[in-house]
């Protein structure tokens, strides 16, 4: 099963008031195992970056002015996303910005039934606990020491590890799809639906006899004859 874990960085919290997406990072999973395939891009939002947003992700006007606008990336992004489930933390936020950008490009929107929200999963599994990405990394022992600022690809990588823990833990990788099959899927050389499992082919062996031999039966009868008043004769 193919899934995409993704995260976005933006100029603010509400696309309806003119906020735009400035970064997206995507991680491909097959059977909850990262394949190594990623998608990452920065976008020129065509508007100034508010100081409070820049403090979160560190993306300023000078850097973003050198990037291309979203519509230059849209086809390669949609091709990478495909039609599989899309996993995000507080996914309504990320889906809202992604679909806003698609709408501005007059491109079909991503269906909301593809959404998998790890925030909702965390609230259900750990009611009453903290559910931020940092808190979940701490809960599951995921190293985030290199996360100084928010970054879409880095946060997607951390979220992919959190998602695996929320949906069964690392042992989920013990399924029937081996690493070679995962790499083949990533390279487009095998269908995602295939398990990659091949049973061992062994030569047929005649069943071994397990009954007593005539000699063993004779020796057993002789032994029983030496017993004095056995229980089964009483």
- Model confidence over 51-85: pLDDT tens digits? 999 999 999 999 999 999 999 999 999 999 999 99
Whether residue 198 is contained in a domain is answered as no
Whether residue 124 is contained in a domain is answered as yes
What is d(CA 55, CA 150) in angstroms, rounded to the nearest whole number? 9
Whether residue 202 is contained in a domain is answered as no
| Annotated binding residue 52 | yes
Catalytic residues: 150
Is the model's pTM score more than 0.85? no
Supply the range of the domain harboring residue 16.
Answer: 2-186
| Annotated binding residue 155 | yes
The CATH code of the domain that includes 55 is 3.30.420.10
Confidence grade of residue 121 (pLDDT, cut at 50, 70, 90): very high
Q: What percentage of the chain exceeds 70 in pLDDT?
A: 82
Instruction: Report how many domains make up the chain.
Output: 1
Whether residue 209 is contained in a domain is answered as no
| Annotated binding residue 66 | no
Whether residue 120 is contained in a domain is answered as yes
Whether residue 206 is contained in a domain is answered as no
Question: Which of 163-173 are b and which e, b meaning 16 or more Cβ less than 10 Å from the residue's Cβ?
Answer: bbbbeeeeeee
What is d(CA 43, CA 34) in angstroms, rounded to the nearest whole number? 25
Whether residue 191 is contained in a domain is answered as no
Whether residue 228 is contained in a domain is answered as no
């Amino acid at each position: 099963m193919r899934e995409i874990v993704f995260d976005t960085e933006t100029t603010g919290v509400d696309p309806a008031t003119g906020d735009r997406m400035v970064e997206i990072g995507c991680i491909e999973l097959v059977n909850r195992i990262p394949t190594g395939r990623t998608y990452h891009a920065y976008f020129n939002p065509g508007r100034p970056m508010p100081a409070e947003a820049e403090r979160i992700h560190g993306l300023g006007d000078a850097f973003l002015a050198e990037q291309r606008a979203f519509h230059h990336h849209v086809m390669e992004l949609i091709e990478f996303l495909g039609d599989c489930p899309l996993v995000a933390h507080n996914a309504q936020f990320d889906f809202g910005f992604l679909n806003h950008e698609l709408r501005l490009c007059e491109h079909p929107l991503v269906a909301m039934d593809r959404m998998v929200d790890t925030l909702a999963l965390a609230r259900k599994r750990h009611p009453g606990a903290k559910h931020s990405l940092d808190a979940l990394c701490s809960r599951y022992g995921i190293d985030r020491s290199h996360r100084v600022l928010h970054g879409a690809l880095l946060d997607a990588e951390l979220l992919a590890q959190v998602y695996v823990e929320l949906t069964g833990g690392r042992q989920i990788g013990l399924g029937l799809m081996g690493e070679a099959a995962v790499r083949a899927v990533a390279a487009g050389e095998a269908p995602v639906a295939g398990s990659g499992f091949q049973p061992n082919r062994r030569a047929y062996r005649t069943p071994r006899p397990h009954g007593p031999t005539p000699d063993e039966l004779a020796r057993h009868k002789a032994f029983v004859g030496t017993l004095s008043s056995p229980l089964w004769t009483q």
